[in-house]
Amino acid sequence: MKKLKLSTAMAALTWATISTSQVAQAGEINIIMEEVPDYDIVAKLTDQFTEQNPGITVNFDAMPFDAMRDKILTSSLAPSATYDVIIIDNPWTDEFARAGFLEPLDKLISGQDGYAYDDFVPALADISKVDGSIYGVPYYNYALGLIVRQDIFDSKGLTIPKTIKDYMSVVKSLTTNDMYGAAMQPQKGYKIMEEWKNWLYANGGELFDDSGNVIINNQAAVDALNQYIETHSQAAPPNSANWGFDEALRSVSSGKAATMLSYNWMLPALNAKGGMSGDLAGNFTLHPVPGGKSVLGLWSWGITSNSDNKDDAWTFISWISSPEVAKQRAIMGGAPVRNSVMNSPEVWEKGYGKAYYSALADILDGSAPLSSGNNAEELIEIVGTELSAAVTGQKSVKEALDAAANGVERAIK
């Protein structure tokens, strides 16, 4: 019966199966990666791994984010995994672990000399723990921070806002005919959820209470959404109700907006000489989000439970995430996940300077994941759709949040 169900699942995913590559042979590991700058760094560093471990061939399959979940699913449903090592986005962790797709790493971690697991930022490491077991080790963070045009703040004598109300007031004051206070990302789904949840945290809200009840339509959420909508209507560029990351980044980098809540590692890219910001490079600074508690994103390394090459997979993961290689990766521009890396004078000097790593440490210290638990991906989409409907005036704030609460309750059943 199990085989029958497995075969029917595979039939349902024929389209994905056709496009996957082959199962790795002994002494070979296949790794699925997202095509982002951090992947390029990992690929470069892997040359050193291959030199040190000539018996292990590492094959990367890099692709856009949208293609990854389907491929991981297909690989995990097959008798033998196509991918021995996968990177896991934090909303997927519980779902994949409970589906039995991931190998617990506890024994491998405790048996690895010099690995210093406790050196990972606790908020990051905790994301990969499900029901008391560790299913992943941090790869790179995408915690959100407040990125500002420091030159504008200095010229107007403004201080960095610490509360959400201060932030609203500052960005409104910065908005003129040709400059906007905030480049926002109210695109439905992931983007608006990722941005708005910082406002929810600032108002003391959460998705669930301690007993697991859905509280996304309580007063804190209503206040957070009202403030978000007010800021979008008064300080964000017009016609930006469908903006995502790319549009907001372009608005800030081209000098049309003075602030944005975005991934902390965008700061080095914005300040890069000859980069996307042109003459504005060097004028951007990073700070904790107003309210102090940031939305945290994480990619982590995991081993698939149906991999035939688990030992080789762990040899690679323990090497790439080791303290020494983590430092090299950060110096080359990777987003750090270890405290020792963020506190290293060598990284400050050869990387992006002490100010960036200190700000990042502050951000990570008070951060919490975007969403966790079963069906987190669905939850994000449901809430993100309702938030977008409220921002664009299709629903009232209360209607949208009530619909979000109903949708979340249905999704987590």
Partner 1 sequence: MNAAKMHIKYKLILPLVFLLSGIMLYPLIFSAWLSLQDYRLTRINDVQFVGFENFGLIATDSSFLNAMGNTIIFVLSAVTFELVLGLSLALLVQKLVIFRGAIRSILLAPMFITPIAVGLMFRFLLNSEIGIIPFYLLKFGVSIDWFGPELALFSIVLIDVWQWTPFMLLMFLAGLEALPKTPFEAARVDGAGPWLTFISITLPMLRPVIVVAIIIRALDAFKVFEYVFAITRGGPGNSTETIMYYIYQTGFRFFRMGEAAAASILLIIFILLLVILLVNLSRPKVTK
Binding-site ranges for partner 1 (CB under 8 A): 2, 5-6, 8-9, 11-13, 69-70, 73, 77, 95-96, 98-99, 101, 186-189, 237-243, 247, 250-251, 375, 377-378, 381, 385-386, 388-395, 403, 411
Amino acid in the structure at residue 404: A
Nearest distance from C-beta of residue 9 to partner 1, angstroms: 5
Output 181 or 351, the one with its CB closest to partner 1. 181
Quick one: which H or E segment has residue 261? Answer: strand 257-263
Nearest distance from C-beta of residue 193 to partner 1, angstroms: 12
| Tokens representing residue 199 in the block | 């406002």
The edge-to-edge listing of strands for the beta sheet with 257-263 is 180-182, 257-263, 144-149, 284-287
Nearest distance from C-beta of residue 96 to partner 1, angstroms: 8
346 CB-side CA count, 13 A: 10
Nearest distance from C-beta of residue 100 to partner 1, angstroms: 8
Measured distance CA(16)–CA(13) in Å, rounded: 5
Output 72 or 174, the one with its CB closest to partner 1. 72
Output 96 or 196, the one with its CB closest to partner 1. 96
Output 318 or 372, the one with its CB closest to partner 1. 372
Output 303 or 363, the one with its CB closest to partner 1. 303
Q: How many CB atoms lie within 10 A of CB 209?
A: 10
Nearest distance from C-beta of residue 158 to partner 1, angstroms: 25
CA trace torsion 23, 136, 261, 188 (10° rounding): 60
Nearest distance from C-beta of residue 236 to partner 1, angstroms: 11
**DSSP β-ladder status, 129-130 and 133-134:** antiparallel
Nearest distance from C-beta of residue 85 to partner 1, angstroms: 20
| Contact between 368 and 295 (Cβ < 8 Å) | yes
Residues in the chain: 413
Estimate the share of the chain in helix, then strand, then coil, as percent rounded to the nearest 5: 50, 15, 35
Output 4 or 26, the one with its CB closest to partner 1. 4
Quick one: which H or E segment has residue 172? Answer: helix 164-174
Measured distance CA(306)–CA(103) in Å, rounded: 8
Three-state secondary structure call for residue 376: helix
CA-closest candidate to residue 184, choices 254, 253, 257: 257
Output 291 or 407, the one with its CB closest to partner 1. 407
Nearest distance from C-beta of residue 371 to partner 1, angstroms: 14
Three-state secondary structure call for residue 330: helix
Burial of 179 (0-12, 13-18, 19+ CB in 10 A): middle
Output 266 or 359, the one with its CB closest to partner 1. 266
Nearest distance from C-beta of residue 13 to partner 1, angstroms: 8
Nearest distance from C-beta of residue 137 to partner 1, angstroms: 22
The β-bridge partners of 305 are none
Burial of 181 (0-12, 13-18, 19+ CB in 10 A): buried
Output 102 or 143, the one with its CB closest to partner 1. 102
Q: How far is residue 406 CA from its own chain's centroid?
A: 26
Output 143 or 401, the one with its CB closest to partner 1. 401
| Contact between 295 and 263 (Cβ < 8 Å) | no
Nearest distance from C-beta of residue 27 to partner 1, angstroms: 31
Output 232 or 287, the one with its CB closest to partner 1. 232
| Contact between 369 and 89 (Cβ < 8 Å) | no
